[in-house]
Chains A and B, each alone.
Chain A
Amino acid sequence: MDNFTVGVVVFPGSNCDRDVLWALEGCLDIRTKYLWHESSDLSDVDAIVLPGGFSYGDYLRCGAIARFSPLINALDDFVKSGRRVLGICNGFQILTESGFLPGALTANKNLNFICDDVELDIVSSKGGWFNDGVEKQTIKLPIAHGEGRYHCDSNTLKKLVDNELIALRYKNNPNGSSFDIAGITNEKGNVLGLMPHPERACDETIGGTDGLFTLKSLIFK
């Protein structure tokens, strides 16, 4: 997989794009390139990260306007091809707004912008985004969001549970998310959306390495 290339999408207002590039290139030696949101040619990337931030200033709703970018329009074929898409924080919001993942993310229950490290239970191994050889069941990742409360109706929640689509649950739910949900996958497992930031947990000197496995998983084994 020497030429495996990850595309990091840059929207107006993205602000974790550089962190993701640093983690992928600097910590994992994975070839990475930025993809401007107006680009719709995804032929030379093997996986995509939608990074955190405030795309389009979070106008209307978080992720609502990014959904209409040419790149997101091209994402449907990319996902159908089986290639992997990781949506982090604002990227997760974009994935729900655009219908790649079910449910919605809305204002935190306590209205605070929460910036903290959280303990997370790995619930499903679908897509192999979390479980490694040692079968670690709990990880610690940073969160930083004002609108991270996952909401879905009871039918959708049942479907998520029955089909093992819930990837991560908060141990101490910080934002009021339904069923403590912090991250979910699509049915195929090649799309993961999560509110925590794995790219901010890739080096011991900045607080931990529990995010490395998820980013490494962009290279599908």
Chain B
Amino acid sequence: MDQFAVKVFVRLRPSVLDPAGEATKSASIKLGAEGIKSLRIGKMIEVKMEGNAENEVREKIDLLCDRLFANTVIEDYEYSLEKL
């Protein structure tokens, strides 16, 4: 079996207010950073998974993203997959 490293990024949808991002943006400006137009906070989930084929692993990751990692009412997700 092959080993795969998957990085899943979960982000609040653009239409959903991100108060934690707004607070961090405000702190960033207080720190002296200039030019910040937008700052939004998401999550990154790392998964190591074994499987016979990339397609098989992608199917499982799709299910996990859709049903567990992200709440698609308020969040979008994308992921990268690397064969180890």
**Chains A and B form a bound pair:** yes
- Contact: A151 with B68, CB < 8 Å? no
Which A residues contact B (CB, under 8 angstroms)? 60-61, 64, 68, 96-97, 102-104, 106-111, 149, 151-153, 176
A107 to B19, CA, bound (A): 7
User: Which of B15, B16, B19, B68 has the most chain A CB atoms closer than 10 A to its own CB?
Assistant: B19
User: What residues of chain B lie closer than 8 Å to A96, measured between beta carbons?
Assistant: 73
Nearest CB in chain B to that of A102: its residue: B73
Nearest CB in chain A to that of B43: its residue: A60
Q: Assuming the A-B contacts A60-B68, A60-B69, A64-B68, are A104 and B74 also in contact, with contact meaning beta carbons closer than 8 angstroms in the complex?
A: yes
Interface residues on B, range: 10 to 19
- Contact: A110 with B19, CB < 8 Å? yes
A90 to B17, CA, bound (A): 21
Bitwise, B14-30 to A at CB < 8 A (1) or not (0) is 01110110010000000
Bitwise, B24-67 to A at CB < 8 A (1) or not (0) is 00000000000000000000000000000000000000000000
The A-B contact count (CB < 8 A) is 34
The smallest C-beta distance from A111 to any residue of chain B, in angstroms, reads 5
- Contact: B71 with A109, CB < 8 Å? no
Which 7 A-B residue pairs are closest in the complex by CB-CB distance?
Answer: A104-B73, A104-B74, A111-B19, A107-B19, A104-B71, A109-B19, A151-B74
A122 to B68, CA, bound (A): 33
- Contact: B17 with A176, CB < 8 Å? yes
- Contact: B19 with A108, CB < 8 Å? yes
User: What residues of chain B lie closer than 8 Å to A102, measured between beta carbons?
Assistant: 73
The smallest C-beta distance from A102 to any residue of chain B, in angstroms, reads 8
A106 to B16, CA, bound (A): 9
User: What residues of chain B lie closer than 8 Å to A68, measured between beta carbons?
Assistant: 68
A107 to B69, CA, bound (A): 17
